[in-house]
Amino acid sequence: MPSLRRRLLLLLAGTVLLGWLAAALFSYVDARHEIGEMLDAQLAQSAGLIAAQLEHEIEDAHESAGAALPRLYKHERNIAFQVWDRDGELRLRSTSAPTTRLAAREAGFDEAVLEGQRWRVFSRWDEEDRYLVQVAERYALRDELAQNVAGHLLHTLLFALPILALLMWFAVGAGLAPLARLAAEIGQRAPDNLAPLADENAPREVRPLLASLNALFARVRATMAQERRFTADAAHELRTPLAAVKTQAQVALGARDEDERSRALNQVVAGTDRAARLVEQLLALARLDPQATLGPTVKVSLRQLAAECLAALTPQAARKDIALGLQAVEDDSALVVGDASLLAALLRNLVDNAVRYGPEHSEVEVAIVREGQAVLLRVIDQGPGIPADERERVFARFYRVLGSGEAGSGLGLSIVRRIADLHQASMALDDGPGGRGLVVTMRFPAAV
């Protein structure tokens, strides 16, 4: 990527160059106009002087028609004059003038082309209307004078532009000094130093950059703090099932009869299952936490996801003789936009909690209804429920309601809340029918 200083220098130098060229062009046009007016006045004045001296000049001229006065200066070739009488006879002319009329007009300014050259001609009669005086001047002279004026500006540019470029180089460097100081300050920071950068003395243009960096530092600080808490909590939660597995394995090793060994091994399997589920939930949270928004989304049928979830959890529910039911509207009215795998995880956690905490010989029902521009998902169980004063706290990680009688990680509802937030869905916990059990209600925006 090109240097910012070089880019600014090129932009500034280009701007100065264009401005100077525009000034030179304007000067040429303006000088051309002013020089034209000045030389026109001189033509008129010269014609008047010649008209005033006609009698003396004609008497001293040769008798031959069209007597030419001798050339005195080398630049006289750019100027010509003629004197004609009333009979159309050429009485006097300059050496640079032809023997034919310079212009057809007998009064005022006119233009003529003689021998491939453009001339500016002024014509007038003398005071007695006896002689017609025509004075002409080449346009090339006017163009040359105007070009000299513009050329002097361009010649100055050849010397001034390098000096201006050098001055602009140092000026741009001084202007970019705050960025250099900011880069040096960030480069000298320790990797774990995420304190905000001071912006009190920063230029106005740099402050948005500092604000963005400070916001980034704040997000990184929050992420690191969350990861530290998460790691500490995960280590604490994993210690318990692993210690139980180790204890039961030691019991199995020291068992003296087959029944005792079988019970210990069954406990090892159960502890391993709990640890595996905890690890699965931890991995799910680790994947969800960094996400600020969903990735690619599709239209998802909650009815289909619920049917698949209930089919997968039927064996677990059968062990407690819990009946699983589904009441849902047709697919085309129960569609939501989201991530199908995350929504499946949400349903699996809700139904798993309902089965886990529900009593034997009870029911768990999943209901999906369309309500206006929303799709409602309800999971209803007949378990012990959650006291009203703890319904917000159960969304905290590793929090478990005391007295539930079930072992768990306390992560299920945290995962559900996070998935709901990513899908812009609201979540509510209420008492079940007749004050028994728990109703979890999710409100999703319906797919258009």
For the chain, what is the domain count?
3
Q: Which of 214, 213, 205 lies closest to 177 in space, CA to CA? A: 205
Of 9-23, 151-165, 406-420, give the lowest mean pLDDT range.
406-420
pLDDT of residue 288: 63
> pLDDT band for position 128 (50/70/90)?
confident
**pLDDT higher than 50, residue 439:** yes
pLDDT of residue 402: 46
- How far from 155 is each of 140, 148, 401, 416, CA to CA, in Å? 21, 10, 89, 77
pLDDT of residue 63: 46
- For the segment 432-436, the average pLDDT, to the nearest whole number, is 79
The answer to whether 386 touches 429, Cβ cutoff 8 Å, is yes
Residue 178 within any structural domain of the chain? no
Tokens found for residue 383? 């378990």
pLDDT of residue 239: 66
**In this predicted model, what pLDDT tens digit does every residue of 266-297 receive, in sequence order?**
877 877 776 776 676 666 666 666 555 666 77
Assess whether 277 and 419 both reside in one domain.
no
Q: Quickly count: other Cβ atoms within 10 Å of residue 261's Cβ.
A: 15
Q: Which of 366, 341, 340 lies closest to 352 in space, CA to CA? A: 366
> pLDDT band for position 56 (50/70/90)?
low
> Residue 354 contacts by C-beta under 8 Å, 6 or more apart in sequence?
364, 379, 380, 381, 383, 438, 440
For residue 302, give the 3-state DSSP assignment.
Answer: helix
Greater pLDDT, 77 or 160? 160
3-state helix, strand, coil in the chain (%, to 5): 55, 20, 25
pLDDT of residue 265: 82
Tokens found for residue 132? 């017609």
Q: What is the CATH number of the domain that holds 243?
A: 1.10.287.130
Residue 380 within any structural domain of the chain? yes
Pick from 98-107, 196-205, 319-328 the range whose average pLDDT is largest: 319-328
Residue 66 within any structural domain of the chain? yes
Mean pLDDT of the chain: 75
Q: Which residue has the tokens 């001084």?
A: 174
Assess whether 215 and 82 both reside in one domain.
no
Q: What is the CATH number of the domain that holds 356?
A: 3.30.565.10
Residue 190 within any structural domain of the chain? no
Question: Which of 259, 287, 315 is where one domain is finished?
Answer: 287
How far apart CA 400 and CA 105 sit, in angstroms, is 112
Q: Output Rg (C-alpha) for the chain, integer angstroms.
A: 50
Q: Which residues of 353-364 are buried (b: 16+ CB within 10 A; e: fewer)?
A: bbbbbbeeebeb
Assess whether 280 and 354 both reside in one domain.
no
**In this predicted model, what pLDDT tens digit does every residue of 330-389 receive, in sequence order?**
666 788 888 888 888 888 888 888 888 888 888 889 998 888 888 898 888 888 877 777
Assess whether 340 and 240 both reside in one domain.
no
Tokens found for residue 442? 């999710």
In this structure, what is the dihedral angle of CA atoms 241, 245, 247, 251, given to the nearest 10 degrees? 150
> In which domain, by residue range, is 373 found?
295-445
Assess whether 348 and 255 both reside in one domain.
no
Pick from 81-95, 297-311, 392-406 the range whose average pLDDT is largest: 297-311
Q: Which of 431, 413, 437 lies closest to 358 in space, CA to CA? A: 437
Assess whether 317 and 275 both reside in one domain.
no
For the residues of 255-278, what is the DSSP string, one character each?
A: -SSHHHHHHHHHHHHHHHHHHHHH
